[in-house]
Amino acid sequence: MSKIRQTTLEINLQSLSHNFQYLSSHLSKNTKLMAVVKAFSYGNNPVVIGKKLIELGADYLAVAYDTEAIDLRLAGIKKPILIFHPYAVNFEKIIEHQLTPSIFSKKKLERFIDVAEKQQQKAYPIHLKLNTGFNRLGFEPENLDFISEKLAQTEAVKVEGIFSHLAASQDPQERDFTLLQLKNFKVLSENIINKLNHNPLRHLCNTSGILNYPEAHFDMVRTGIGLYGYGNAAEIDAQLKPVGSLKTVISQIHHLEEGDSVGYNRRFIASKKMQTATLSLGYADGIHRHYSNGKTAVFVNGKPAPIIGDICMDMFMIDVTNINCEEGTEVTIFGAEQSAEDFAKAAGTISYEVITTIAHRVKRVIIE
Ligand SMILES: *Cc1c(COP(=O)(O)O)cnc(C)c1O
């Protein structure tokens, strides 16, 4: 690995392949895999990651919003792309770019059919999203007759998929709730399918669902976090390889006397002689202020160096007393020495949040 000279997110495609194989090994031969590349592919590089996942055999890609999907199309990705949360105002654009909308309400269904009919579409693919207990997006059981009536009256759209989302697939204590969601999904989707004359793809599981509920795989699964190397459980994390490593270099070293302060509002006061280092990333890069004041540490030459003072917008300071280092020494925020999950936990958050909020100004380096 080359020596870094600025704040860098290293993106390891071999780790991505490893995780893809690991997750695929839990699927039966006929189960399709939808790779979730929303939120800049969980903070990485959606075009590179998306292309790699297709090469590895992903059947489908998924994103949250329209613009994310359009960016992938403009980069030449031709695979089907499901948009979990499309805006009605962009339905024309969605069709123009041959993207698949998730349709989750009566109003959205009416409007999409309207747009598709105006454009004289035939059997344009849509996925219906059902609410089975998450209470975020999705049709309610009482909407089913409406859906079937609307679909019966048009040839412009075709239900290619029916899906729902699990609220607590990672939590063994919520097993009963998850099984109830699974049952609701079966009942509601069968009700719709009975009135269609084809079999749409059904999909319910996210990463933890894949691993914890093999009976719930249906025709396709949707995996995000697992592809990037995190599995919401220590045993699973041990099998996966984090794709991203966030590193930086020391910008400057300072030597403090007892009573000297560090940073805004003099949040840190030295209780003894100490050596500090300033790093070139801050809350605008995704290292939120929650990490301030010793909550968590980064690694310098294999040793933990606690964060001191408040995280600034573009920089933060660490305690490197007794650590052999100088201007230019490499520092790991997360990577080999600690995972993004460990780093996240210390500040009361989760790997998902840490990796998806790495700012776009942080240089990405792809490691093949
Ligand atoms: C983000 C998301 C996923 C992926 O979840 P992971 O826990 O990252 O695997 C799957 N389905 C939907 C609807 C999502 O929003």
CA dist., res. 226 & res. 119, Å (int): 38
**Which residue blocks in the chain are alpha helix, DSSP H?**
13-24, 38-43, 46-56, 66-74, 91-96, 106-118, 144-152, 175-193, 207-212, 234-237, 340-346, 351-356
The architecture CATH gives domain 13-230: Alpha-Beta Barrel (3.20)
DSSP state letter for 174: G
Residue 222 Cα: closest atom of ligand 1: 10
Is pTM beyond 0.95? Reply is: yes
Question: Which residue type, as a one-letter code, is found at position 223?
Answer: T
Ligand 1: centre distance to CA 76 (Å): 24
| pLDDT at residue 43, rounded to an integer | 98
C-alpha distance from residue 278 to each of 2, 183, 198 (Å): 22, 54, 61
Element (H, E) at 269: strand 268-269
- In terms of phi and psi (left: phi > 0; alpha: psi -120 to 50; beta: otherwise), the region of 194 is alpha
Evaluate whether 43 touches 231 at the Cβ level (below 8 Å).
no
Write out the two tokens for 49.
């990651």
Write out the two tokens for 4.
């870094």
C-alpha distance from residue 73 to each of 36, 66, 256 (Å): 15, 11, 53
Write out the catalytic residue numbers: 38, 264
One digit per residue, the tens of pLDDT, for the chain of length 368 reads 558 999 999 999 999 999 999 999 999 999 999 999 999 999 999 999 999 999 999 999 999 999 999 999 999 999 999 999 999 999 999 999 999 999 999 999 999 999 999 999 999 999 999 999 999 999 999 999 999 999 999 999 999 999 999 999 999 999 999 999 999 999 999 999 999 999 999 999 999 999 999 999 999 999 999 999 999 999 999 999 999 999 999 999 999 999 999 999 999 999 999 999 999 999 999 999 999 999 999 999 999 999 999 999 999 999 999 999 999 999 999 998 999 999 999 889 999 999 999 999 999 999 99
Domain boundaries, the chain: 13-230, 244-367
Q: Angle at the Cα of 247 (from 246 to 251), degrees rounded to 5?
A: 140
Residue closest via CA to ligand 1's atom 13 equals 165
Residue closest via CA to ligand 1's atom 10 equals 206
Residues 6+ apart with CB under 8 A from 237: 229, 230, 231, 339, 341
Residue closest via CA to ligand 1's atom 6 equals 224
Ligand 1: centre distance to CA 62 (Å): 9
Q: Assign 3-state DSSP to the chain and report helix, strand, coil percentages, each to 5.
A: 35, 25, 40
Q: Are strands 8-12 and 330-334 parallel, antiparallel or unpaired?
A: unpaired
Helices and strands counted in the chain (H then E):
12, 18
Concatenated DSSP letters for 61-122? EEESSHHHHHHHHHTT--S-EEESS--GGGHHHHHHTT-EEEE-SHHHHHHHHHHHHHTT-S
Q: Which of 32, 36, 131 to mutate to test the pocket of ligand 1 (most atoms within 8 A of CB)?
A: 36
CA dist., res. 311 & res. 308, Å (int): 8
| pLDDT at residue 203, rounded to an integer | 98
Ligand 1: centre distance to CA 206 (Å): 5
Evaluate whether 202 touches 162 at the Cβ level (below 8 Å).
yes
Q: Are strands 100-103 and 124-129 parallel, antiparallel or unpaired?
A: parallel
| pLDDT at residue 76, rounded to an integer | 98
Packing angle, helices 46-56 and 66-74, rounded to 10: 70
| pLDDT at residue 2, rounded to an integer | 58
Ligand 1 pocket, residues with Cβ under 6 angstroms: 36, 38, 84, 165, 206-207, 222-226
Query: What's the fold here for domain 244-367?
Result: Lyase, Ornithine Decarboxylase; Chain A, domain 1 (2.40.37)
Element (H, E) at 250: strand 244-256
- In terms of phi and psi (left: phi > 0; alpha: psi -120 to 50; beta: otherwise), the region of 359 is beta
C-alpha distance from residue 362 to each of 43, 184, 365 (Å): 10, 43, 10
